[in-house]
Amino acid sequence: MSQAIRYVRHGGPEVLTLDDVPIPEPGPGQVRVAVRAAGVNGIDWKLRRGFMGRGGPPAGPAGVGVEFAGTIDAIGAGAGVTADAAAGDGGGNGGWSVGQAVFGRVLSGAAATHVPADTEDLLAMPAWLSFEQAAALPVAVETAWRTLRRLDLKEGHTLLVHAVAGGVGLVAAQLARDRGVRVVGTASPARHDFLRELGVRPVEYGDGLAERVRAAAPEGVDAVLDASGRDVLAVSVELAGGPDRVVTIADGRAAEYGVSFSTGADGVPLADVFAEVLPLLERGALRVPIERTFPLERTADAHRLSEEGHLLGKIVITVP
C-alpha cells in the first residue's frame, strides 16, 4: 500500500487525512516516484478550501501538493530507459531509470509516499541538491521565471516585488538581480536584514506604502510583481505608471485594475527554466530558504503555517 494526504470536503486544515491507498501505476509517458519531500504552496490550501473550484464538494477524495522530489521506482510505457538517463541526464534523450533521483511537478497528489508524474514535468536531481531543497523549487522557480519574462525587464530597470520574502518573491528578486535589475520588495521588518544581504531594498507593508517605495526607489518603478494578494494592485499601477507593467499571481481582482493574472496555465517547460536556474543554485547565486519542514502525517500543520503567511522561503513536507 501507499499513503497519501487527501480530503473529501472543502475546509480548513482539519479536513486533511493520511489515507492508505493502492500504489499508483504510472501511465504512458509517466514514471512513478517514491516521494522523499513535497513542497507546500498557497495553491494547495486554496484548492483545499474550495477557492479555486466551481462550487460543490470534490467529486471524490482529492490529493494535495503539486511539487516533489524523490526516486523513480517504476516506469510507464514510452518513458524508456537510456544510459544518459541512468547517468543523470534527466531524460534529455528520452529516457529515465529506476532509482534515479528526480524532482518536478504534478497537478495534485505530491503529498504522498508515491506519485505518478509526466516525464515532461520531471528533471534529474543533481547530487548537490537535497530532496528537501529540490522539492521547494519547481513552483516558485517556474512562477518567478515566467512572470519576469512577461514583465520583460531590462538591465537598469527597477522591479517592485510584493511579498518578496516568500518563495516566488525571493526567486524573482534574485533572478532579477542576476540580470542587472534593481529590486524593491515589501516584507515584514523581521526579514529586512536577510533581504538586504540579497541586494533587495526592503520596505514595510501598510499605510504610506507608495511613499516608502518612492523613497527606496527614487529612480522610479518600472514593473511590479504582486505575490501577496494583499490589495496592492491600485498602488502598484500607480507606481509602475500603468496596468500593463503589473503582474499578479495572487489577487483574483486583477481584471478590475487591467492587470495581468499569471497562473500555472501559463506555465513554461521546467527544462527551459532550470537550464538558467540550476547553475545559479549550484554556485550559490540563488538561495531558496526552507522556513520549516513537517513530516507527512503533519501536513495539516504545514498548511496552517502556509495560510498564516509571512514566511521566509518555502515549507516542505518530508516523507520517510
Q: Which among 171, 228, 223, 234 has a CA at the least distance from the CA of 200?
A: 171
Structurally, the chain folds into a number of domains equal to: 2
Report d(CA 278, CA 317) in Å as an integer.
Answer: 22
Q: Give me the torsion for CA of 170, 174, 179, 185, rounded to 10°.
A: 50
Whether residue 236 has pLDDT greater than 60: yes
**241 and 207, same structural domain?**
yes
pLDDT band at 52 (very low <50, low <70, confident <90, very high): confident
Look at residue 226 and tell me if it is in a domain: yes
* pLDDT above 70: percentage of residues in the chain: 94
On average, the pLDDT of the chain sits at 93
**82 and 162, same structural domain?**
no
**What average pLDDT does this structure show over 89-101?**
71
pLDDT tens per residue, range 189-234: 999 999 999 999 999 999 999 999 999 999 999 999 999 999 999 9
Look at residue 282 and tell me if it is in a domain: no
Range of the domain at 81: 2-137+288-318
- Residue 95: the pLDDT is 74
pTM here is 0.92
Give the strand pairing for 314-318 and 30-40. antiparallel
**250 and 204, same structural domain?**
yes
pLDDT band at 54 (very low <50, low <70, confident <90, very high): low
- Within a 10 A sphere around the Cβ of 309, how many other Cβ atoms? 14
Name residues whose C-beta falls within 8 Å of residue 40's C-beta, 6 or more positions apart in sequence: 65, 299, 302, 303, 306, 314, 315, 316, 317
pLDDT band at 93 (very low <50, low <70, confident <90, very high): very low
The residue count of the chain comes to: 320
**151 and 127, same structural domain?**
no
- Residue 80: the pLDDT is 65
pLDDT band at 91 (very low <50, low <70, confident <90, very high): very low
Report d(CA 134, CA 132) in Å as an integer.
Answer: 6
Report d(CA 18, CA 37) in Å as an integer.
Answer: 15
**13 and 73, same structural domain?**
yes
